[in-house]
Amino acid sequence: METLITLIQIAIGAALINNFVLHYFVGICPFLGVSRRIDTAFGMGCAVTFVISIAATLSWVFTYFILRPGAPLPAWIWQMAGGDASTQVNLSVLSYIVYIFVIAASVQFVEMYVRKFFPALYKSFGVFLPLITTNCAILFACLEIMKHLQDPMRLWALPEALTLAVGGGVGFTLAIVLMAGIREELDACDVPKPLRGPGIALIVAGILAMAFMGFAGVDRGIQSTLNAFLH
Amino acid sequence: MSASEPTALERFLNGILPENPIYRQLLGMCPTLAVTGAMKPAMTMVAATAFVLIAANVIISLIRGLLKPHLRILVFTLTIATFVTIADRFLAAYVYEMSKQLGSYIPLIIVNCIIISRCEICASKQSVGVALADAVGMSLGFGLALGSIATVREILGAGQWFGVTVLPPDVWPSWGIMALPPGAFLTLGLLLALVNWIGQRRAESLALREKQSKG
Amino acid sequence: MSDEPRKGGYIPQAWLVILLALFYGAALAGTQTALGPRIEENKKNETYAVIPQLVEGASQEQTKAVVVTGQNGNEQPVYQARAADGTLQGWVLPAQGQGFADRIDLLIGVTPDVSTIVGLYVLDQKETPGLGALITGTKFQNQFRGISTDQPVVVVTSEPQAGQIRALTGATISSDSVADIVNQTIANLKEPIRKLER
């Protein structure tokens, strides 16, 4: 039950309170670039959510077993090679390189898989897939997971990591679709000439970010409500 | 190298204003918004990005003759990720407070489009000198953009600049919102409009002058 | 991506990538060897440097981390704050929990018998600047000094009595969060620490 509450908290935190786009500013490039129409925005959002969950799962596996301080696999190899058991092997210096290649590989893999088995799906968001490798939101999710795998006393398990990733992806989709809806309306407005294009989009994003600030504290309320309900 | 390739000086000057990575090309928005709440983190970010950009540009330019075209993105990514890790370790070792404050945004330099686009556009085609000038120019342009945003946000948001009080609290009730995410979006939006407005005014006056000289 | 045919197997194609990978690997290993100990030191000092502020008379050099199993069954480290001559001056308990915006990380200093709070320090927080972020201020933190651990700390918005602290104006939730984290951590660790060897 405790775990479920934690998972709900992580999901709400990633999707609403600390929204990836409007609070952490990751994934701003597609947020400004692909948010002119609702359907393309939704396609982009789905593609990101899809890739982010795969990349997060893979990077959790790599971090948990290989890269974190005190990871089992390098320690085992070290001991097999006759090393001293008391020295801790720490490969975390390689994390960033591993993550970026995990992301690139999962984008490739998702693209091939979706094209082969779900042609309809590929048609709707396949064009966005190659763009995603340089989307900061994915790397950011991997880094957040890494942060929670540093302290051996409080390690995240796979469900937590996956919840964060999916929550973040949903939050990204929500933000980009909301933005696209507003920008479709903005087309009919008389925007001052210097503000046209990205200028007004950023100001709209600022107002959206203010609106999302209203979610702060919601997770704490949900936690106490659920706790009261359960006990 | 064809004659149409820009020279080192042109590359250097282009990066600062005419092709400013933030205001003109709209690249690397993520750090631009995230770390500009105050001058200190913004300038640390600029220094880290400049280090990675210069190192990557120089190395790519040195090996440009050996690059296989279909492996170039792989090589770019490998180079950038390595130098970002080195920069990250240096910050953690020597300015730990700052490195903690910047957190994930240092590793996110890897996916900063400015660097990979400079490797692709300039370093993989031109000599080391030009690539170096290009990287320094772009870094200055990036620094200028981040500095301007951070100046506005820190002064309005906390009445300080580089941590030094410029507007005392009894004169200026700090706008907390400027230090928060919405402040970042609003400041960048308005500064972008200002840059566009100046550009448009200049273009208009140029057109007017041309018309007059013809007439 | 390219028009030229890929001939000659993998090695002629990829030798540059392999060479670069080796070169970068060496560079990274060098950086890690040179800077790793320093970074570890920084991380450790972050906690250790504030321990003398939290527990009066404690020496940074004598401080030692020990692992304790809390009443919720989880293991976690606590710090023994000792004076320069080695006598136990108190304990420092790392604590964390949900704040208004994000996680709050605290250090709580208590007396050797865990009966009274002697200090509080906020290691990390992302509360609203100007409001909730004032939990890092000494005025708020000093209120926790001298509060008995027999009763949970109570947050009030009026003049505080014994065992109470006054909430920050406009940041009741942040103040509540800090008090909650303190109460939970002390309830969890009080008995286990009393059983530890001195």
Mean pLDDT rounded to a whole number for chain A = 87
Indicate the pLDDT class of residue B2, thresholds 50, 70 and 90: very low
Quick one: average pLDDT of C38-57? Answer: 86
In a domain, B2, yes or no: no
pLDDT band at C2 (very low <50, low <70, confident <90, very high): very low
State whether residue C2 sits within 8 Å of chain B by CB. Answer: yes
Q: Which domain holds residue B28?
A: 8-214
Are A100 and B189 a contacting pair at CB < 8 A? no
pLDDT at C8: 60
Give CB contacts under 8 A, 24+ apart, made by B77-80: B77/A100, B77/A101, B77/A104, B77/B110, B77/B116, B78/A97, B78/C17, B78/C20, B78/C21, B78/C24, B79/B55, B79/B119, B79/C20, B79/C24, B80/B52, B80/B56, B80/B109, B80/B110, B80/B115, B80/B116, B80/B119
In this prediction, what percent of chain B has a pLDDT beyond 70?
Answer: 98
Q: Does residue B49 fall inside a structural domain?
A: yes
Lowest mean pLDDT among B141-145, B149-153, C74-78: C74-78
Number of domains in chain B: 1
Q: Which of A29, A101, A199 sits opposite B192 (nearest CB)?
A: A199
Q: Residues C168-180: what's their mean pLDDT?
A: 87
Per-residue pLDDT reduced to its tens digit, A114-156: 888 888 878 777 777 777 777 889 999 999 999 888 877 778 8
Report CB contact under 8 Å: C128, B68: no
Q: Phi-psi region for residue B28, left (φ > 0), alpha (ψ -120 to 50) or beta?
A: left
The residue among C40, C96, C102 with the most chain A CBs within 10 A of its CB, best to mutate, is C102
Does a structural domain hold residue B3?
no
* Residues in chain B within 8 Å Cβ distance of C28: 82, 85-86
pLDDT at C1 over 60: no
Q: What is the ipTM of this complex?
A: 0.89
**Does B34 sit within 8 Å of A97, measured CB to CB?**
no
User: How much of chain A exceeds pLDDT 70, in percent?
Assistant: 100
Residues A41-76: tens digit of each pLDDT = 888 888 889 899 999 999 999 999 999 888 888 888
Neighbours of chain C (3+ CB pairs under 8 A): A, B
- pLDDT range class, residue C98, cuts 50, 70, 90: confident
Provide the sign of the torsion angle of the four alpha carbons A207, A209, A211, A213, taken in this order. negative
- Which candidate, A104, C50, A181, places its Cα nearest to that of B75? A104
* Phi, psi at C170, each rounded to 5°: 75, 10
**Percentage of chain B modeled with pLDDT above 90:** 53
| Residue whose structure tokens are 């505080």 | C160
Mean pLDDT of A157-186: 94
B1 part of a folded domain: no
Q: Does C24 reach chain B within 8 Å, measured CB to CB?
A: yes
CB contact (8 A) between residue A153 and residue C74: yes
Are B69 and C38 within 8 A, CB to CB? no
Calculate the alpha carbon distances from C128 to B188, B191, C131, C169 in Å.
Answer: 21, 25, 6, 12
B132 lies in some domain: yes
Tell me the average pLDDT of chain C. Answer: 84
Test C130 with B176 for CB contact under 8 angstroms. Answer: yes
Residue B190 contacts A, CB cutoff 8 Å: yes
Instruction: Provide the chain A residues 51-90 that lie in CB contact (below 8 A) with chain B.
Output: none
| Most A-contacting residue of C32, C46, C96 (CB-CB within 10 A), to test interface | C32
Say whether B182 and A96 touch across the interface (CB within 8 A): no
Q: What is the model's pLDDT at position B103?
A: 87
- The verdict on a CB contact (< 8 Å) between A217 and C100 is yes
Q: Give residue C46's Cα distance to chain centre.
A: 8
pLDDT in tens, B50-92: 999 999 999 999 998 888 888 888 899 999 999 999 999 999 9
Q: What is the pTM of this model?
A: 0.88
